[in-house]
Amino acid sequence: MLVSAAWIMPATFAAINRIAQTRLQGWEPVTARDLLWEGGDWFLYAFLTPGVFAVSSRWPLARPHLVRRAALHLGIALLFCVAWATSGQLLRLALGFMFDPTAMHAAMQAGAAQFWRKAGVDWLSWIFITLPFGTAVYLCMVGMEHAIRYFTEAREREVQLALLSEQLASARFAALQAQVNPHFLFNTLNTIAVLVRDNDRRGAVRILEQLSEVLRSTLSSHHANEVTLGEELELVRQYVAIEQARFSDRLRPEFTIDDSLLSAAMPSFALQHLVENAIRHGIARHPDAGRLIVAARRTGDLLEISVTDDGVGIDVDVDIPKGHGIENTRERLRALYGESASLVIVSRTEGGTIATLRVPYRELLPESNK
């Protein structure tokens, strides 16, 4: 860990300080044992740092458990001081046996009980000596872990927002492309011309208004990644109404959605893409097809939306290529909700396809696209 390696600097400065103080104060020459003790005591922090970071990550100082977590970290800070002092005393004893084994063995032979009693007193004394500074060091490392984590999460959020913006732009472009493709416009304008020749001006105006509303919704400056189910349904109804003009009386849409769900949040353009696929790739390719069912319900903590058609169906063994609208929708779901959302598409036994979208249920205030 990089933070553990950072303790090399204070360990080095501690050794330099010992050399400088020896010369300034006229002490006895510095030995290797002295330098190992001065630097090694700081290196003990390097071994304890990963544990501190793990504890800080497991129990971060955050609401709503801020007071409880602060008390917890205070207690862990005391344990950290005990661990540091214990490690320091073990290091001191190890250096003694390494550089002056004769004196250490002599002290133990003179009185083992007294030797270990003195070691215990030194250990307790070292705990109290390190207590103020060790607590401050522990809290500094906790603050450092929080800062690193927040910085990393902020960068990840920036990347995720950039990805979502790109996917939203792709979704808006795909929706616009579906609405303004030449075949779609040709059929819509041709239908309007027929209505005008038949003196059905009201019908012609209605289709023009629906086409205008679909284009306005798609081209608007509204860039939210989520909209309410009611807002998405408004776009879908306009789109389906225009497609009904294309398929004459063959397209029979059904909407089974309770009003209590209209404020539920969902990814923008997701339902529109599913309806578009059902019409273009299912119903349009089957001369006798025409039934389209859009349903929504709440199942526990999930909002479940299904789009069913009686068209040609799909081949479940064929992989959906990258860049396809379905795959893009799934990527947006992963970016927005992680593993909490899903999009499942299956064939119906009686013919046709069922696309089921599941997202976490959450209320969302409608926003104006104007």
One CATH from 3.40.50.300, 3.30.565.10, 3.30.930.10, 2.30.30.100 for 181-360? 3.30.565.10
- In 3D space, the residue among 298, 353, 290 whose CA is nearest the CA of residue 326 turns out to be 353
Q: Say if residues 22 and 28 touch (Cβ distance below 8 Å).
A: yes
Regarding predicted confidence, which is higher, 212 or 347? 347
At 222 the three-state DSSP class reads coil
**pLDDT reading at 321 higher than 50:** no
DSSP state of 28: S
**How many CB atoms are located within 10 Å of the residue 188 CB?**
21
List pLDDT tens digits, range 119-140: 888 888 888 888 888 888 888 8
The mean pLDDT of 141-161, rounded to a whole number, is: 82
Q: Which residues pair with 354 in a beta bridge?
A: 308, 346
List pLDDT tens digits, range 30-44: 888 878 887 777 778
CA distance 8 to 43: 7
List pLDDT tens digits, range 256-281: 999 999 999 998 888 988 998 899 88
Computed over every residue of the chain, the mean pLDDT equals 81
List pLDDT tens digits, range 180-197: 455 566 767 777 887 788
Q: Which residues of 276-297 are buried (b: 16+ CB within 10 A; e: fewer)?
A: bbbbbebbbebeebbbbbbbbe
Angle at the Cα of 85 (from 84 to 87), degrees rounded to 5? Answer: 65
CA distance 245 to 236: 15
DSSP state of 29: P
**pLDDT reading at 177 higher than 50:** no
Domain ranges of the chain: 2-158, 181-360
Most confident of 19-28, 47-56, 168-177, 227-236: 227-236
What is the structure's pLDDT at 274? 92
What is the structure's pLDDT at 221? 45
Report residue 4's pLDDT band, with 50, 70 and 90 as the boundaries. low
Regarding predicted confidence, which is higher, 293 or 207? 293
List pLDDT tens digits, range 49-97: 888 888 888 888 888 888 888 899 889 988 888 888 888 888 888 888 8
To which H or E segment does residue 292 belong?
Answer: strand 291-299
> What is the DSSP code string of 177-206?
HHHH-HHHHHHHHHHHHHHHHTT-HHHHHH
Report residue 203's pLDDT band, with 50, 70 and 90 as the boundaries. confident
CA distance 364 to 261: 10
Regarding predicted confidence, which is higher, 252 or 329? 252
Report residue 179's pLDDT band, with 50, 70 and 90 as the boundaries. very low
List pLDDT tens digits, range 304-319: 999 999 998 887 665 5
What is the structure's pLDDT at 172? 58
Residue with tokens 């599913």: 274
> What is the DSSP code string of 237-290?
HHHHHHHHHHSTTS-EEEEEE-GGGTTBEEETTHHHHHHHHIIIIIITT-TT--
Predicted TM-score (pTM) of the model is 0.52
Q: Say if residues 48 and 80 touch (Cβ distance below 8 Å).
A: yes
What is the structure's pLDDT at 128? 85
CA distance 188 to 208: 9
What is the structure's pLDDT at 323? 44
CA distance 37 to 33: 6
The mean pLDDT of 158-168, rounded to a whole number, is: 71
Q: Which residues of 204-238 are buried (b: 16+ CB within 10 A; e: fewer)?
A: beebeebbebbeebbeeebeebbbbbbbbbbbbbb
List pLDDT tens digits, range 322-366: 445 688 788 888 888 888 999 999 999 888 999 999 999 999 875
Q: Say if residues 83 and 135 touch (Cβ distance below 8 Å).
A: no
